[in-house]
Amino acid sequence: MLELRSFYEPVSKVPMMVRVPWLPCEKRIIEGNFSQIDLLPTLLELMGQPAPEFLQGKGRSDVIEGNATLDGNDIFMQHNGYGDRDLTSEESRPTLSREKADEMNYMNNLPWRSVVTADRWKLNLCAGDQSELYDLNTDPYEMDNLFNEPSHRDRIRQMAARIRVWQDQTGDSAPLPTI
Q: In this predicted model, what pLDDT tens digit does every residue of 147-177 receive, in sequence order?
A: 999 999 999 999 999 999 999 988 888 888 8
Average pLDDT, the chain: 82
Residues 6+ apart with CB under 8 A from 157: 179
Yes or no: say if 34 and 41 are a contact pair by the CB < 8 Å rule. Answer: no
Distance CA(62)–CA(115), nearest Å, equals 23
Write the burial class of residue 123 (CB in 10 Å: 0-12 exposed, 13-18 middle, 19+ buried). Answer: buried
**Degrees (nearest 5) of the Cα angle 142, 163, 12?**
40
Single-letter amino acid code for the residue at 78: Q
pTM listed for this prediction: 0.73
CATH 3.30.70 at 75-170, yes or no? no
Tens of pLDDT along 121-137? 999 998 877 899 999 99
